[in-house]
């Protein structure tokens, strides 16, 4: 839907405000208003004081327009980045993107979960004689605060940031107008989207974006679930971000010199095998972690330290790949239809990360084998691979235990696929960087 909406955002605007601000400003104002209104309804939405639980239908109806507004704002910002930065610096758009996403995730996830947790607040923020059964903040106050942040920051952008008019009538143009944005109608912009898809370099790019993350699907999609299943609290897992965020913010700036250069995908190719190796390390850590569980059922701080170190190495590889690919996307995108072009590449990139995880979550259970053991012995009664058989085993006073964990098989299969993918497409990725920029332009002169 975002991809189909992008041509409209690219072609419809109010010239007096600016092509990008025409969409960005009202979207952010509406998001802020939505959040302010929602903050007063949090108890009702979450079902506090009732047995019904969260109002899922209301959540769906609210987050649908919120996500729509955020997606529209994202399209406008992506297109603006291609014209607000000079061509030699456009690769830094990926640096800003990565730093912004990290800061947003840190504030909205890690900081909130930590400050909302009574355990975290009592352990690290409150004195021993001031223990409370609740955290420092609650969801309602958090949403209310960020609603005002949206409104105030948007007002500042509206007043102080003037958008340069880069528009150019589609019927005109010469070699000096390569960076100008075209004046296209809605139908013409959809036609341009189809032309982008038919570009020969784009065919190669789509294959790379859609298949490149299959190798990491099991590691990225299941490892966190395995840790939670072992008994590691969600808030403790989220607190890992406290240690990862400084790295995630600094790393894009550290590699910006290379990702903003003419060969940003060299970083991608260097990080790919390194990330595969980290996936194997994660599998080993998952295997050995249960053996370090204390008698209380919890884990020592040393276990958390080891996992934090592991995640640091994982994030180095992940962010190097992400920033370098985003930089390349920004460099090859035609700024004359920037919003549509960048949205296409980013949408395909996101899809390439989501579908492998969805698939691997669906099939991992196929690789998992469980047997029903007589309690206190190693005598196998029967396999209990289905929920019904597992319930039957438990009802009989026996124990259904995992004999073969599908997680490890999934990691191995994904890693083999990744090695093959890397060998097959290494030279093609190198070649993509050598293609002249005009070959990526959708409107030839």
Q: Is residue 268 part of a domain?
A: yes
Q: Is residue 328 part of a domain?
A: yes
Is the pLDDT confidence value at 355 over 60? yes
Q: Under a CB-based contact definition with an 8 Å cutoff, are residues 249 and 99 in contact?
A: yes
Tokens of 172: 């005109």
Residue bearing the bigger pLDDT, 216 or 386? 216
Mean pLDDT along residues 6-15:
86
- Reported as a pLDDT band with limits 50, 70 and 90, residue 268 is very high
Is the pLDDT confidence value at 418 over 90? yes
Query: What 3 state SS string does 117-146 have?
Result: CHHHHHHHHCCCCCCCCCCCCCHHHHHHHH
Q: Is residue 157 part of a domain?
A: yes
What's the pLDDT at 285? 95
**Confidence (pTM):** 0.79
Mean pLDDT along residues 369-377:
88
Which of the residue ranges 86-90, 295-299, 388-392 has the most confident prediction, judged by mean pLDDT?
388-392
Q: Average pLDDT, whole number, for the chain?
A: 87
Give how far the C-alpha of residue 57 lies from the chain's centroid of Cα atoms, to the nearest Å. Answer: 25
Q: Which of 260, 262, 249 is nearest to 315 (CA)?
A: 249
Mean pLDDT along residues 44-61:
80
Rounded-to-integer distance, Cα 145 and Cα 153, Å: 12
What's the pLDDT at 172? 46
Residues of the chain with pLDDT > 90, as a percent, come to: 43
Q: Are residues 316 and 197 in the same domain?
A: yes
Q: Are residues 245 and 348 in the same domain?
A: yes
What's the pLDDT at 173? 46
Give how far the C-alpha of residue 150 lies from the chain's centroid of Cα atoms, to the nearest Å. Answer: 21
Q: Are residues 133 and 256 in the same domain?
A: no
Residue bearing the bigger pLDDT, 347 or 411? 411
Q: Are residues 78 and 125 in the same domain?
A: yes
The residue count of the chain comes to: 445
Answer with the one of 162, 183, 218 that is the final residue of a domain: 162
Rounded-to-integer distance, Cα 290 and Cα 299, Å: 9
- List the helix and strand counts (H, then E) for the chain: 19, 5
Q: Are residues 77 and 213 in the same domain?
A: no
Q: Are residues 285 and 237 in the same domain?
A: yes
Q: Are residues 224 and 341 in the same domain?
A: yes
Rounded-to-integer distance, Cα 277 and Cα 279, Å: 5
Q: Are residues 21 and 134 in the same domain?
A: yes
Note the pLDDT tens digit of each residue in 158-203: 999 888 766 554 444 444 455 556 566 788 888 888 989 989 899 9
Tokens of 258: 């290379």
Rounded-to-integer distance, Cα 265 and Cα 323, Å: 9
Q: Is residue 96 part of a domain?
A: no
Q: Containing domain of residue 27, as a range?
A: 1-84+117-162
Tokens of 392: 């039957």
Note the pLDDT tens digit of each residue in 116-166: 888 888 888 888 888 888 889 999 999 999 999 999 999 999 999 888 766
Q: Is residue 432 part of a domain?
A: yes
Q: Are residues 195 and 320 in the same domain?
A: yes
Residues of the chain with pLDDT > 70, as a percent, come to: 95
DSSP state letter for 353 = H
Q: Which of 382, 362, 388 is nearest to 370 (CA)?
A: 382
Q: Is residue 137 part of a domain?
A: yes
Q: Is residue 369 part of a domain?
A: no
Answer with the one of 108, 143, 162 that is the final residue of a domain: 162
Q: Under a CB-based contact definition with an 8 Å cutoff, are residues 20 and 80 in contact?
A: yes
Q: Is residue 293 part of a domain?
A: yes
Tokens of 255: 């590699």
Tokens of 46: 């979450």
Q: Are residues 158 and 206 in the same domain?
A: no
What's the pLDDT at 266? 95
Identify any residues that bridge with 371 across adjacent strands, giving them in sequence order: 383, 401
Q: Are residues 53 and 197 in the same domain?
A: no
Is the pLDDT confidence value at 374 over 60? yes
Q: Under a CB-based contact definition with an 8 Å cutoff, are residues 114 and 238 in contact?
A: yes
Q: Looking at 48-57, 340-349, 395-404, which range is the least confident one?
A: 48-57
What's the pLDDT at 171? 40
The number of distinct structural domains making up the chain is 2
DSSP for 59-109 reads HHHHHHHHHHHHHHHHHHHHHHHHHHS-GGGTTHHHHHHHHHHHHHHIIII
């Amino acid at each position: 839907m975002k991809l189909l909406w992008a041509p409209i955002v690219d072609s419809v605007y109010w010239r007096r405000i600016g092509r990008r601000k025409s969409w960005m400003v009202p979207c952010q104002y509406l998001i802020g208003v939505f959040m302010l209104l929602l903050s007063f309804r949090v108890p009702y939405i979450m079902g506090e004081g009732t047995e019904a639980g969260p109002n899922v239908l209301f959540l769906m109806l609210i987050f649908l327009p919120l996500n729509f507004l955020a997606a529209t704002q994202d399209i406008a910002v992506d297109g603006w980045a291609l014209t607000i930065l000079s061509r030699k610096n456009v690769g830094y758009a990926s640096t800003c993107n990565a730093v912004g996403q990290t800061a947003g995730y840190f504030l909205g996830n890690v900081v909130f979960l930590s400050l909302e947790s009574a355990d975290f607040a009592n352990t690290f923020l409150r004195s021993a004689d001031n223990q409370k059964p609740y955290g420092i903040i609650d969801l309602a106050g958090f949403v209310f605060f960020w609603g005002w942040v949206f409104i105030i920051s948007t007002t500042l952008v509206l007043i102080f940031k003037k958008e340069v008019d880069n528009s150019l009538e589609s019927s005109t143009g010469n070699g000096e107008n390569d960076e100008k944005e075209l004046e296209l109608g809605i139908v013409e912009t959809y036609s341009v989207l189809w032309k982008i898809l038919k570009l020969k370099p784009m065919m190669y790019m789509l294959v790379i974006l859609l298949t490149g993350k299959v190798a990491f699907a099991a590691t990225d999609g299941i490892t966190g679930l395995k840790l939670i299943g072992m008994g590691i609290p969600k808030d403790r897992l989220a607190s890992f971000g406290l240690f990862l965020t400084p790295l995630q913010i600094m790393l894009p700036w550290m590699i910006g010199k290379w990702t903003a250069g003419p060969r940003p995908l060299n970083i991608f190719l260097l990080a790919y095998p390194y990330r595969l190796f980290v996936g194997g390390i994660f599998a080993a850590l998952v295997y050995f972690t249960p053996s370090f569980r204390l008698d209380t059922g919890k884990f020592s701080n040393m276990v958390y330290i080891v996992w934090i170190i592991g995640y640091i190495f994982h994030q180095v590889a992940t962010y190097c790949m992400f920033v370098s690919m985003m930089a390349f996307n920004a460099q090859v995108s035609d700024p004359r239809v920037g919003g549509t072009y960048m949205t296409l590449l980013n949408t395909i990139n996101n899809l390439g990360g989501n579908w492998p995880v969805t698939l691997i979550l669906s099939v991992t259970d196929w690789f998992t084998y469980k047997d029903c053991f007589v309690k206190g012995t190693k005598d196998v009664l029967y396999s209990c691979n289905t929920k019904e058989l597992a319930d039957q085993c438990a009802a009989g006073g026996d124990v259904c235990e995992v004999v073969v964990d599908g997680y490890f098989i999934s990691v191995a299969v994904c890693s083999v696929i990744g090695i093959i993918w890397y060998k097959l497409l290494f030279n093609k990725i190198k070649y993509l960087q050598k293609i002249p920029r005009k070959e990526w332009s959708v409107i030839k002169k």
